[in-house]
Structure 1
């Protein structure tokens, strides 16, 4: 990648991402850095390269959370299925110029329909679902598409202030074409009234940035008498990405 060709670099919009120190989101007060960050002038080969997931062995139900944790996979019909509203989450992974990112790893994790995670430190009063693990993964296809089937997660309270609630959301990690393009984000559901009340969402200063994290109801891809579908496209920095800032 020639370092003297500015057309290969797109300046990073520093106002797009939330500030590291956002007092309304209490956790950032203790975790945010107090000194200026150090910008690296050029990426290393390890940052520009892979990993290559084409030989990653996937299970038959890795992207189907209705089936990948049921107590007895041999059960037929609705027996042993998770409780909750069945939904499809799908979309396309592209780079910053709209080029599809094929064969990249997309991982997701979420609370169950009652708003509880299968994690030893989650002490919310909602019960665990014995047939729901809350994690999934898949590889994008040749055109960058991914797909999961799951249940809609419930909202849950958290100790940010006297009555903070997280909107229903699904966490997503997508690697992109290289190590440095890994994106960790979350998908909210269109129309959720808790979205504008969430202290984490409100760390974003640009309303358009919030819109990029909202999955849109897609009736054309919903399944009759089965699942509603929500489309959530993911944009990562591709082979022409800016790694830190335009030093060209």
Structure 2
């Protein structure tokens, strides 16, 4: 995430846009050749969004919705890791934002019609800046799986959405994190659009017992690699920055 010219997407690494097992991709996928446009100075140098004015609970999804007055319901977890370049060097001061469903598998969104109840003390969003060595951390509850109207009985595995932003808005990357051992990962048509298993495996966070706290929470480690052969898979820019 450095200033400078944006690198075009490597389309060969991207999931197929039209996948019959992922029903909404049929309607959303383009049917004409894509047009690549040159980036502008505004996209390459700014503007910068959301890197200032952090609140003390922005990284704590268990308490931030209530302002610390009450805690969200669910399995408490720590999600942490580092944002790295292709040489394993930490990327400092990158903006990391997350959003997720609650412990019952429901988002706080007006169009989410799942039967699971909303948690009055859970908003489902948080943000933080990486530190000087690229480390980030969030306290949250483990999101629940939820059904979606794709095929007869499709369920999304538990997952957390992540957005990373560098010095300018044109350097925003988006991905998802899944949890080690979830049997729904291999049954998810959205995950299956990533045909290279080595890339989809990079989206699975292993359990990190070394950072778990006894009688309090489990930890999952999710390192995000921006470039190179071991880069994380990004929905909107597979080749990183």
TM tier, shorter chain?
0.7 to 0.9
Q: Write the deviation string for residues 9-43 of structure 1: whole angstroms up to 9, x where unpaired.
A: 98965332211112211111111111121234x54
Residue of structure 2 equivalent to 1:68: 64
Residue of structure 2 equivalent to 1:86: 76
Comparing 96-105 with 210-219, greater Cα deviation is found at 96-105
Residue of structure 2 equivalent to 1:3: none
Aligned pair partner of 1:17 in 14, 18, 37: 14
SS in 2 for 1:188: strand
Distance 1:9 1:55, change over 3 A: closer
Residue 55 of structure 1, CA deviation = 5.8
Residue of structure 1 equivalent to 2:26: 29
In 2: Cα distance, 1:10 partner to 1:82 partner: 40
**Mapped contact 1:181–1:236 kept (Cα < 8 A):** no
Normalising by structure 1, report the TM-score.
Answer: 0.83
In 1: Cα distance, 2:202 partner to 2:47 partner: 26
Q: Which runs of 5+ in 1 are unaligned?
A: 1-7, 75-79, 239-243
Distance 1:163 1:104, change over 3 A: same
Larger Rg: 1
In 2: Cα distance, 1:194 partner to 1:139 partner: 31
**Mapped contact 2:49–2:168 kept (Cα < 8 A):** no
Distance 1:53 1:191, change over 3 A: same
Q: Which runs of 5+ in 2 are unaligned?
A: 229-236
Residue 53 of structure 1, CA deviation = 6.2
Residue 165 of structure 1, CA deviation = 0.1
Residue of structure 1 equivalent to 2:117: 127
**Mapped contact 2:49–2:169 kept (Cα < 8 A):** no
SS in 2 for 1:27: helix
Distance 1:73 1:100, change over 3 A: closer
SS in 1 for 2:106: coil
In 2: Cα distance, 1:199 partner to 1:54 partner: 33
**Mapped contact 1:139–1:146 kept (Cα < 8 A):** yes
Residue 97 of structure 1, CA deviation = 4.3
- Cα RMSD between the aligned structures? 2.5
Where in structure 2 are the equivalents of 1:45-60 lying within 5 Å?
45-52=41-48, 56-60=52-56
